[in-house]
Structure 1
């Protein structure tokens, strides 16, 4: 009740609501499922949220490793380089090795590229929905544990085998991987006090000397062009050096000796050129022109 002091009347006050706000107390501690035998934590959202949080931590760690070291760069792609051995990243080495076997390649390539990877990755995605058992101890889940262990062993074996075969191929062909070759070149430049550079292009070769000489036309008809190219740049990664600047290393007589007797991977080319219609005089002019290919001072 309330009184009106001016008029002396008594006014009735009616409360239409409670102004007090009740405090809601929530228990954020998850229940201890070990007290309920045979029961487990709900997969969605409880377990899935924990897995996602752990995955984020690992993702941040991987990103830190990625940005801490620059990616190794090789030379620009050269489709004519037959000595190059392509290799995927390490996490795909097991698939790379799998496709080398006869039952997953050639006539069975669909099996190796679609069926087997589809079963593996599809089973991994569907595992939470297919394996709905309450048991969490791996030795009480023989089927799921056996499949997981077999997959892990297969992936490790294929990865190690693939890397071993790659090392054997490098030794057999005497090939140095391009990213290692570029790294060694950068170290040599730094040791010599030269700028290492960060580009992706190979060092520029010297220009062609006396490009309008008649011997240049003889070169185009000779067998040299098939390995050293019309621009005299060669294919260094395949063992065919550039002929630009060859005059700094060999004189005319030495070049003629190489044409007649060969050197390194290059077999003797004199008789082959004679068989193509070139004369002995043409070969002398060609050797003289190649001896003129020197770097500009």
Structure 2
């Protein structure tokens, strides 16, 4: 028999008192600790993590990220963007004080100070309490970091038309890839006027969409070539009317084969 706190009674001395299942210690006398880390607290952490993981997987299944076309090193119009969790740094480098001659300040000093401050937060605020009002320094630094990352990410996303970008850069399905007749007189016109943006095989690239599988009529193609559309400014095509007709006939013939 043990006296005092946690008293145990054993009826038979041949039976060990510690043969019972694991029972966490009573932490009521320890300030700031109300339960055992293993298995109580850790099990709760695992359950919360599993819920978020399942929710994230469901989100990726319901809204998969759009695929883009193959990388084309010859295209100078493609504007690469980082993954969503680095968009706040991408937006930071757009400001004058973090770009150009101050780019070193934007890529090293500012992020270094921000992440270094978060690492030092537990050492700057050593209060014994666990509630936010009892940890003012650590809580303020975390709120400031979350607000800055959220705002910079929003500013970066708000100025990008993601659907149009995905549509312009989507990969060409194998069934729509056709052989290009390079002997067609319209191909020479296309190569001199349009290939730098739309690709040598009309596959598109960057801000310029693919010209394979389009639904525009020859008249609409001619109008777009002269007057532009969307991000394509007017006056890009500077050829003669005969060259314009050759260009339109060439694009129409390619799409006739694609269908």
Q: TM-score range by the shorter chain?
A: 0.5 to 0.7
1:292 to partner: Cα distance: 2.9
Q: How far, CA to CA, are the matches of 1:123 and 1:168 in structure 2?
A: 32
In the alignment, which residue of structure 2 is the partner of 1:30? 26
The answer to whether the aligner puts 1:123 opposite 2:115 as a matched pair is: no
Partner residue of 2:31 out of 25, 34, 40: 40
Deviates more, 1:145-154 or 1:24-33: 24-33
Map residues 203-222 of structure 1 onto 2, 5 A cutoff: 203-204=173-174, 205=176, 207-208=178-179, 210-220=181-191, 222=192
The answer to whether the aligner puts 1:147 opposite 2:137 as a matched pair is: yes
Map residues 1-297 of structure 1 onto 2, 5 A cutoff: 21=14, 23-24=16-17, 29-33=25-29, 40=31, 46-47=36-37, 50-69=40-59, 70=61, 72-76=64-68, 78=71, 80=75, 82=78, 85-89=81-85, 106-108=103-105, 109-120=107-118, 122-123=119-120, 127=122, 134=128, 139=133, 141=134, 145-170=135-160, 174-176=161-163, 201-204=171-174, 205=176, 207-208=178-179, 210-220=181-191, 222-235=192-205, 238-242=207-211, 244=212, 249-250=217-218, 258-259=224-225, 261-264=226-229, 265-271=232-238, 273=239, 284-296=245-257
Which consecutive unaligned segments of at least 5 residues does structure 2 have? 1-12
1:230 to partner: Cα distance: 1.1
Larger radius of gyration: 1
Would you say how many aligned residue pairs link Structure 1 and Structure 2?
A: 229
Q: How far, CA to CA, are the matches of 2:130 and 2:248 in structure 1?
A: 79
User: Is the Cα–Cα contact under 8 Å of residues 132 and 139 in structure 2 kept in the other structure?
Assistant: no
Quote the RMSD (CA, aligned, Å).
4.3
1:228 to partner: Cα distance: 2.0
TM-score (norm 2): 0.63
